[in-house]
Amino acid sequence: MAIPHARSGESIDVRPLGDRLSGAHTVALFKSDELEVVRLVLLAGKSLPPHKVPGEITIQCIEGRIDVTVEGTSHVLGAGQLLFLRGDVPHGVVALESASALVTIVLHK
Amino acid sequence: MAIPHARSGESIDVRPLGDRLSGAHTVALFKSDELEVVRLVLLAGKSLPPHKVPGEITIQCIEGRIDVTVEGTSHVLGAGQLLFLRGDVPHGVVALESASALVTIVLHK
């Protein structure tokens, strides 16, 4: 999948998907020089195995409920909760309910 | 105002303020090595004059309605709309309705 290259002044819809969530997939919203912004979609019970990236991250739950496990500690996020992660910190995600989340990643050049 | 220093795995409430919006103020949610995240609060008719920062920015409207003017072009954001801005791009903000917005700024060391 080609990641759209961000244009300055670009406006993006990050509202809950609601009824469309069950048929949705994770999508890269844009990538710029310094940032990548992804809408993560995880249906109930699905997971992302532990992984890490060099840059700092925020994970903002848009809808549903996810459990983000960071170095063995579980953090449950509902809609409107945001988690900050330092770079290179291993984290895994499990959807406790079908969920979408905005993931903002600082890119290291 | 001291800006809270982010701890990895920190969870932050970014839900709409709703009834509390009229008495709320802009607050820095956290600052880390690479990111600063602010909840901007602007009551109807209030504005931020044009300014710029070195790092890239996303502005996500949480509630209400704001007009972000970027190099002379107006972008109206309602709840759940996100705007990407390159670094060093002058932008001004006017609240068309009382609003709060999540502003994520990449910090340059």
Q: What is the pLDDT of residues A46-88, one digit of tens each?
A: 999 999 999 999 999 999 999 999 988 999 999 999 999 999 9
> Cα A37 from chain centroid?
8
For B:25-84, CB contacts with A below 8 A are: 29-30, 32-35, 37, 55-56, 58, 60, 70-71, 73, 75, 77, 79-84
As for the ipTM of the complex, it is: 0.93
Nearest residue of B to residue A60, measured between CA atoms = B14
Tokens at A108, concatenated: 């290291």
Q: What is d(CA A71, CA A92) in angstroms, rounded to the nearest whole number?
A: 9
* DSSP type of residue A54: S
| Global model pTM greater than 0.80 | yes
Q: What is d(CA B20, CA B29) in angstroms, rounded to the nearest whole number?
A: 17
Q: Which residues of A touch B106 (CB under 8 A)?
A: 34-35, 106
- The overall longest dimension of chain A from CA atoms, in Å, is 39
Q: What is the pLDDT of residues B45-79, one digit of tens each?
A: 999 999 999 999 999 999 999 999 998 899 999 99
